[in-house]
Amino acid sequence: MKAVEIEVKVDSNLERLLKEEDLDFDLKITQDDPGPKCFSLEAIDGTFHQISGCYPLSNLLQCLAYAHQDHLETLTITQNDLYLNPVDQISKQIRTRYWKALTRTLDEKGIVELLEDSKKKKEQIKRIYVPSEDKDSFTQLQSVSKHHPYLHLEIIKLPKARTKDLYETLEKAPGLLSLKIDKNGRFAHPFVVPGGRFNELYGWDSYFIVLGLLEDGKIDLACSIFENLAYEVEYYGSVLNANRSYYLSRSNPPLLSSMACEILLRLPQDQEINRWAQRAIRTLILEYQLVWNHPSRKTSSGLNRYFGGYLKEPSEVEAGHFDAVYRSHALIHGCTLEDFREKYLKGEIKDESLDDYFMHDRAMRESGHDTTNRLVNCCADLNTVDLNSLLYKYERDISRLIECYCEGSFVDDEGNSQTTKKWQELAQLRSSLMHKLMWNEKNSLFYDYDYAKGKKTTYQSATSFYPLFAGLASENQARCLVEASLLRFEMQGGIVSTTEKSRGIVTAGNPQRQWDFPIGWAPHQILIWKGLLEYGYPSVARRLVYRWLYMLTTEAKNYNGVLLEKYDVVHSTHKISAEYGNEGMHLGLYPEGGFGWTNASYQVGLSYLSNQEREALRNLTPPEVLF
């Protein structure tokens, strides 16, 4: 491209570019397209400019597609638009486009976009459930419904009492759960959705998203997300898996205290920060008491478990997901799969072992690791390393926050004294139990504890490193984890979810699941990076960061800027065949929003690299050359 910038017609160039270069008809230009990778871009003055190479052409496609979406007839294309270094391009897109594309508001302006739920069958009637105590939000949302009758929107009061019958009703009549709206009814607090089929506010996703937002200077949006999660705690009794009615019975990994601490580090140090911190502390204590101190999640070992309720099949899963499970039980009852499933869900057939299976399945979904063979058909019997590490950090965070912002003690809304010492003691007790029940000196790993059987499990998972993030591991344990165990999980593209040995050979009875080898996820990467930095292993952390970002950058460069939910870190590819596919993969034309926690991992990861390492990444120097 000879000129520094040229003005082009949008639609004619877009149509011709797709015709000549998108030869697999997936609305993307990638290295898999067999086209010539050389395109003559026509300017409005009739001149042509040759654009060559997969990466510049994919950038051109995105520029034209964005302009087409914005109904622009012409567009000025610059060299920077097409040839900006992939690292700078990805980071810029996340900062300027992706967060905005994933931001939602539950108000008159944003409600249409939120009502769509690709996980459920389309219904003409749309529903929003509002806590009966939140009269202002109910009135405001009723007004929206009346102003827009074409939405066929029902605003339904949610009773305060949470019963099994209510949960079952909400699964059969799905809808949104309302979030925080100011008392004047004019401002709904925005939040960020993960992307793909996940078009609602998710619990643990939000922690990682907030890290990315803070890195990009979007403090107000990060605070707004916290306010919405605090609303969930106040009105729904927990940080929800997500704010759809079928998620009401389960929570998500306890990362709200970590989110509050990260936000407090970025807020201006003025009088308002004390008020914000004290409100946050009250929310954290309330969630801890309502969720993690609840009898359903406390166990005889003294540690905690995930628990998603006693309901049956989760309604958000894709059709056919449980067919193999139903088939085996249908044979026992002498039914066809379809007949058995229908009668079982109606309660006409009783099957206690299947009830237990779904109890464990819902607990696994509360853990966020849905699904992994580590937790299938056993999750509710486990004190997992991940949950108890996060609760240890939760207890320590509350202790520190009370010390810092409440002078060591205060009286909560129930009249109970909350002190730094009390929460320190809770953390110390949990630490002692975890060291006793979970640490395996011989294998240099923390293992989940099966409290029902009274012994450690043997499944090796990346969650074994959560004690580093939580600050729970001793210095010796940290050294053992890094020197003896990390290489079991460190792959070409970063940290893998489990070891291949633990996953075992993939068969019909042991299927490939998305939270098992060879797949890696942004949450595991970020928590392990932070843990390594906490324990004084910055060079190891940066090596892992570099592996992950090198993979993300290479895949985005070769595949139309794609940033997805998860990756095969063994083979360094986004092309995955496991359970639900890979969210964000099939959008076409441009990666609308990327994926929340993957976006965050890119921005956070870049901040951890040295200048030399960032420059090496910009030159796509392979990890094995640098390290």
Compute φ and ψ for 368, nearest 5 degrees.
85, -15
List 215, 262, 370, 568, catalytic entry: 370
Token output for 237: 């009794």
3-state DSSP percent of the chain in helix, strand and coil, to 5: 50, 15, 35
Residue linked to tokens 């120097």: 621
Sign of CA dihedral 607, 610, 612, 613: negative
Sign of CA dihedral 598, 65, 86, 491: positive
Helices and strands in the chain, H and E counts:
26, 20
Question: For 577, how many CA atoms within 13 A lie in the half-sphere containing its CB?
Answer: 2
Interatomic CA distance for residues 307 and 305, integer angstroms: 6
Residue 5 designated active-site: no
Interatomic CA distance for residues 450 and 437, integer angstroms: 9
Residue 370 designated active-site: yes
**Checking DSSP bridges between strand 439-440 and strand 176-177, what pairing results, if any?**
unpaired
Residue linked to tokens 């979904």: 365
Compute φ and ψ for 594, nearest 5 degrees.
60, -140
Closest to 371 (Cα-Cα) out of 558, 246, 231, 521: 521
Q: Give the SS3 label for residue 229.
A: helix
Terminal CA-CA length for the chain: 36
Region of residue 471 (phi > 0: left; psi between -120 and 50: alpha; otherwise: beta): left
Q: Which residues contact 277 (CB under 8 A, 6 or more apart)?
A: 260, 264, 401, 404, 405
Sign of CA dihedral 416, 418, 423, 424: negative
List 200, 565, 583, 613, catalytic entry: 565
Number of Cβ within a 10 Å radius of residue 312: 21
Token output for 572: 């360094």
In DSSP terms, which residues pair with 382 in a beta bridge? 450
Q: Which residues contact 26 (CB under 8 A, 6 or more apart)?
A: 586, 588
Catalytic residues: 370, 565
